[in-house]
């Protein structure tokens, strides 16, 4: 184990560092670099690692193993000195989200006794799983309001390491499951929690906290939230959507919900009317088919959907006894309602499959697809012989 000064704890707002290279070793396609001191936080405690550069080389990963912090680079470093530059935007984001999580978890426990069982800090969202079967909208609003009141209160966020005999008296929100010294993150006089992550110095630096939604998860409730710049960006994006909807629907913002519901209801009514008109049209076309020729009825419908073709076939057979054969692009759809009619599924198997057709069906309904137009024409010619369709009508 190599002792390394962890400046991300003692100087979490530091963005650059000049230090010495202790060692570097190749592992696969990457290089593991150990520095005398570091500003880069390694993955741990539910928080992702920092990013940045060392001597201009982009940092791929940071991890701690047996007390040594390794910086993963795509290429080796030259010389014995290193200039580390932190991706500050990422660090600040992680501090805002992590400190916001402590605040949110503490409020849920203080207000309702809901413990936080797990925490996720990802690139897209943050979430906590709390020991509540569900939470009401009223509870959600109350917790969110109190969180932002404490953010505006700009409480100090303190970090310190204590020996077991010194932290026993603290009202820790989570009981540690390991022995030895413990790093405590305290939101002054409000929350005490063991944590190895990086945090803001005052709650005001969290900026704001917004609960996005909740869902049930393994008997608990998962609470999705955003803090700081993430929450502001989320608000900006949603404001743009809202602004576009106001212009599109010609309705003021408070009336958008009512306007959208009215438009959806109108759309539903129009779709119902359209379906009724389609049914009337199909019935009319079926009457035309039956009146123009005798069974078996042959129809070539290149611009009709499979569903509409099947509806027309059923409509024809509802008017008379007979057989319907429909050519639909590369498909052929067959159906009949004859007591002594041919077994259509078997017909397709025996006559269409040898020609390369794919499909099948029941004794009274079948369909087959042909990739080769000539094979389809050959099958239709066989139907002229087998069932007597007339393609010239």
Q: What is the pLDDT of residue 164?
A: 79
Q: What is the pLDDT of residue 97?
A: 98
Task: Please tell us whether the domain made up of 92-241 is placed in CATH 3.30.980.10.
Answer: yes
Q: Characterize 228-261 residue by residue with b for buried, 16 or more Cβ atoms within 10 angstroms of its Cβ, and e for exposed.
A: bebbeeeeeeeeeeeeeeeeeeebeeeeeeebee
Residues 5-86, CATH architecture: Beta Barrel (2.40)
What average pLDDT score do residues 106-112 get? 97
Per DSSP bridges, beta strands 297-300 and 323-328 are: parallel
Q: Reply yes or no on whether the pLDDT at 392 is more than 90.
A: no
Give the sheet arrangement for strand 365-369, strand by strand.
Answer: 297-300, 323-328, 331-336, 365-369, 358-361
Q: Reply yes or no on whether the pLDDT at 168 is more than 90.
A: no
Of 63, 99, 58, nearest to 230 (Cα)? 99
Contact residues for 307 (Cβ-Cβ < 8 A; gap 6+): none
With tokens 């099947």, the residue in question is: 310
Q: What is the pLDDT of residue 45?
A: 81
Residues 380 and 388: beta-carbon distance below 8 Å: no
Q: What is the pLDDT of residue 344?
A: 94
Q: What is the pLDDT of residue 167?
A: 74
What average pLDDT score do residues 264-270 get? 97
Q: What is the pLDDT of residue 393?
A: 62
Q: Reply yes or no on whether the pLDDT at 2 is more than 80.
A: no
Lowest mean pLDDT, pick from 4-18, 177-191, 255-269, 337-351: 177-191
Q: What is the pLDDT of residue 3?
A: 64
Q: Reply yes or no on whether the pLDDT at 263 is more than 70.
A: yes
With tokens 């690139």, the residue in question is: 123
What average pLDDT score do residues 332-343 get? 94
Spatial distance between the Cα atoms of 390 and 293, rounded to a whole number of angstroms: 10
* Residue predicted with more confidence, 293 or 311: 311
Of 26, 16, 32, nearest to 68 (Cα)? 32
Residues 311 and 284: beta-carbon distance below 8 Å: no
Spatial distance between the Cα atoms of 127 and 191, rounded to a whole number of angstroms: 19
Domain assignments of the chain as residue spans, ordered by start: 5-86, 92-241, 273-386
What average pLDDT score do residues 95-113 get? 97
User: Residues 236-262: pLDDT tens digits?
Assistant: 999 999 999 999 999 999 999 999 999
What average pLDDT score do residues 255-281 get? 95
pLDDT tier at 294, thresholds 50, 70, 90: confident
- Tokens in use for 108? 């849920």
CATH of span 273-386: 3.10.310.30
Q: What is the pLDDT of residue 371?
A: 95
Q: Reply yes or no on whether the pLDDT at 143 is more than 70.
A: yes
Of 44, 94, 136, nearest to 227 (Cα)? 94
Note the Cα 179 to chain centre separation in Å.
Answer: 39
pLDDT tier at 46, thresholds 50, 70, 90: confident
Q: What is the pLDDT of residue 111?
A: 96
Q: Reply yes or no on whether the pLDDT at 53 is more than 70.
A: yes
What average pLDDT score do residues 91-96 get? 98
Q: What is the pLDDT of residue 200?
A: 97
Spatial distance between the Cα atoms of 146 and 142, rounded to a whole number of angstroms: 6
Mean pLDDT of the chain: 94
- Tokens in use for 230? 């993430």
Spatial distance between the Cα atoms of 50 and 43, rounded to a whole number of angstroms: 8
User: Residues 182-200: pLDDT tens digits?
Assistant: 899 999 999 999 999 999 9
Q: Reply yes or no on whether the pLDDT at 166 is more than 90.
A: no
**Length of the chain counted residue by residue:** 393
Of 176, 175, 201, nearest to 186 (Cα)? 201
SS3 of the chain: helix, strand, coil, percent, to 5:
40, 30, 30
């Amino acid at each position: 184990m190599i002792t390394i000064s962890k400046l991300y704890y003692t100087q979490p707002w530091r963005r650059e560092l000049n230090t010495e290279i202790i060692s570097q070793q190749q592992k696969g396609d990457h290089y593991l670099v150990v520095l005398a001191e570091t500003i880069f936080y390694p993955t741990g405690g539910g928080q992702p690692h920092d990013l940045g550069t060392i001597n201009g080389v982009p940092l791929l990963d940071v991890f701690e193993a047996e007390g040594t912090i390794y910086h993963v680079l795509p290429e080796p470093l030259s010389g014995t000195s290193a200039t580390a530059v932190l991706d500050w935007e990422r660090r600040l984001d992680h501090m805002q989200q992590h400190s916001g999580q402590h605040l949110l978890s503490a409020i849920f426990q203080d207000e309702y006794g809901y413990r936080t069982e797990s925490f996720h800090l990802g690139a897209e969202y943050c979430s906590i799983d709390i020991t509540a079967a569900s939470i009401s909208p009223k509870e959600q609003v109350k917790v969110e309001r109190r969180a932002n009141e404490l953010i505006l209160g700009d409480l100090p966020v303190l970090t310190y390491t204590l020996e077991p005999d010194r932290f026993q008296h603290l009202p820790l929100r989570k009981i540690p499951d390991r022995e030895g010294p413990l790093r405590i993150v305290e939101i002054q006089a409000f929350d005490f929690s063991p944590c190895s992550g990086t945090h803001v110095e005052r709650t005001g630096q969290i900026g704001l906290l917004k609960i996005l939604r909740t869902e049930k998860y393994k008997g608990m409730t998962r609470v999705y939230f955003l803090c700081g710049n993430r929450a502001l960006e989320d608000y900006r994006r949603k404001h743009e959507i809202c602004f576009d909807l106001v212009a599109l629907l010609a309705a003021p913002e408070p009336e958008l919900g009512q306007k959208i519901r009215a438009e959806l209801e109108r759309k539903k009514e129009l779709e119902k009317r359209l379906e009724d008109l389609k049914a009337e049209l199909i019935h009319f076309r079926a009457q035309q088919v039956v009146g123009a020729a005798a069974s078996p009825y042959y129809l070539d419908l290149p611009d009709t959907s499979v569903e509409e073709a099947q509806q027309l076939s059923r409509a024809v057979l509802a008017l008379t006894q007979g057989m319907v054969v429909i050519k639909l692009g590369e498909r052929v759809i067959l159906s009949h309602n004859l007591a002594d009619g041919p077994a259509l599924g078997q017909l397709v198997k025996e006559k269409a499959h040898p020609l390369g057709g794919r499909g099948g069906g029941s004794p009274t309904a079948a369909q087959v697809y042909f990739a080769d137009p000539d094979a389809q024409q050959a099958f239709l010619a066989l139907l002229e012989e087998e069932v007597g369709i007339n393609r010239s009508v």
